[in-house]
Chain A
């Protein structure tokens, strides 16, 4: 009697185990399935509408009504914008990350406050960066332009890049720094020649992650970069961006133009896939200078 009750309980416990295992399998399939479904749908819908003129021409008159042209302006605009913003973000992010890792003591208040701030900044939505970029723009009397867009996107990229770089630099063994000091190197020399070199692949990955974010973000450039059919030739001209081009094309009532939105989305997706593949590959290669 007792034995059978025990065995029934055991069976129930095993049952519970099996049910939850099944639920977990379903969950992970959902997560993987979503990515496959998203990339698959975009490519499948985008490919038929793709043509050479999409990526080699700028919009001709009436492009958004279904006439000829392409979105070269948006592709170039996005590349300009994301590159500018990434360079600007590196200029701010690298010194900060080096400082909190090389110059401060092990349990420094400043370092933890800075890390905390990066975490908080990382959580701020891109639309808020857009609104703040807009305020700066108005404050300095700028118009919607490539420059204003670069500023807003750089703000967005700053915490993303810094957190990724910090994670890499934190892993540098303390002994390596001490070896460098004992050879008479200053902190600056150690930071630039030892730490940066040691972390180069990881740092490049951080830069690429931020670049990918910058190129794909729409909400921050909406207020600041403007939109134009031409390729910008100076920092003070407005610039089109790929995400906004997708958004505007999808918003038209014409099926041909919407088709092009799918094609543009496919272009952006492929771009992002390439960037993340390269970032991943970099993590593994270029390890020549690394001391393990």
Chain B
């Protein structure tokens, strides 16, 4: 049992090392940073610049955060400060279910509803013609997928704030919202940041749903109405050919390693913040 208990900590390292070992052939040919910041992507000629894909991921993640953060935080505040017990009990399974829906389902829904919405209504509204398979569509679908993460982590953070602090604020004549703003949000700020960072790292690695709606064009997106090509989509789309082109598999494993590094960084950061928040509450 003790040996097994060491597995989780070890597994994180093992995955990272495994990916980098498989990526070594390409790292032997080109320096790491030139691969990261090169825009040339043509596997047949041996060009494996990951920059467009990294930017694609950043764009989609950014759009999803802009959409998801206000909605999730307001929902979390409502559920923790305003809602009666019955509403809270009713909402919890809904949020769990939203978290449990497979990403393919989000993808199909995105193709059915979000892509036409962007292509036929939102883009023409801004005077742009677009197929709808855009960064914006990816961002919208992703935003819904990260609602549950941000909401449930924020709820935990809010519940760790002592009730007396709220009462003190209310008794000084503050309105409920003022109490939320000056006490709950201020006290919970670190935890909220952690919740957002966790949502961010979820968004960063999400594959299938984004892949289905984002267009997959390996070029730098210039606006939210351009197609993008995030890193996970790159991996998922090319697994079939990667063994037949030299260095292709190494390049993809490098992409996976980069993805993992970024996600690990954000995750560890968020968890460290949360551990501190928890310790202070206890």
Q: Which A residues lie at the B interface, using CB under 8 A? A: 13-14, 16-17, 20-21, 23-28, 30-32, 34-35, 37-39, 41-42, 45, 92, 95-96, 98-100, 103, 110, 112-114, 116-121, 123-132, 134-136, 155, 158-159, 162, 209, 212-213, 215-219, 222-223, 243, 246-247, 250, 261-262, 265, 268-269, 272-273, 276, 280
Contact = CB atoms under 8 A, between A and B. Distances in A.
Contacts of A129: 15
Q: How large is the interface on B (under 10, 10 to 19, 20 to 34, 35 or more residues)?
A: 35 or more
A101 B256 CA distance: 34
B117 to A, nearest CB: 11
B4 interface: yes
Interface of B: 1-2, 4-5, 7-9, 11-12, 15, 18-19, 22, 70-72, 74-75, 77-79, 82-83, 91, 93-98, 100-109, 111-113, 144, 147, 151, 175-178, 180, 198, 201-202, 204-208, 212, 232, 235-236, 239, 252-253, 256, 259-260, 263-264, 266-268, 271, 275
B107 to A, nearest CB: 7
6 contacts: A103-B1, A113-B9, A114-B8, A116-B271, A125-B205, A247-B107
A268 to B, nearest CB: 6
B212 A96 contact: no
Given A31-B95, A34-B144, A127-B259, 20 more contacts: A24-B78, A24-B82, A28-B78, A28-B91, A31-B71, A31-B91, A31-B151, A38-B105, A96-B4, A96-B5, A123-B263, A124-B260, A125-B207, A126-B205, A128-B263, A131-B19, A213-B100, A243-B102, A268-B102, A276-B100
A273 to B, nearest CB: 8
A243 B111 CA distance: 15
B108 A42 contact: yes
A20 B74 CA distance: 8
Contacts of A113: 9
B8 A127 contact: no
Find the residue from A110, A118, A135, A155 having the highest chain B CB count within 10 A.
A135
A130 B238 CA distance: 13
Contact of A98 (B1, B19, B91): B1
A269 B177 CA distance: 38
Contacts of B4: 92, 95-96, 99
Q: Please classify the interface of chain A as helix (H, G, I), strand (E, B), loop, or mixed, using the class held by over half of its residues.
A: helix
A246 B78 CA distance: 37
A191 B196 CA distance: 37
A17 B175 contact: yes
Contact of A35 (B12, B78, B97, B107): B97
A100 B259 CA distance: 30
B105 A42 contact: yes
A274 B45 CA distance: 49
Contact of A27 (B11, B22, B71, B95): B71
A37 B2 contact: no
A222 B102 contact: no
A132 B100 contact: no
A24 B206 CA distance: 27
A272 B8 contact: no
Contacts of A280: 93
A273 B94 CA distance: 11
Nearest to A44: B112
Contacts of A126: 205, 207
Contacts of B91: 28, 31-32
B94 A269 contact: no
Given A116-B271, A127-B236, A265-B104, A219 B112 contact: no
Contact of B11 (A35, A117, A247): A117
B82 A21 contact: yes
A31 B109 contact: no
Nearest to A261: B108
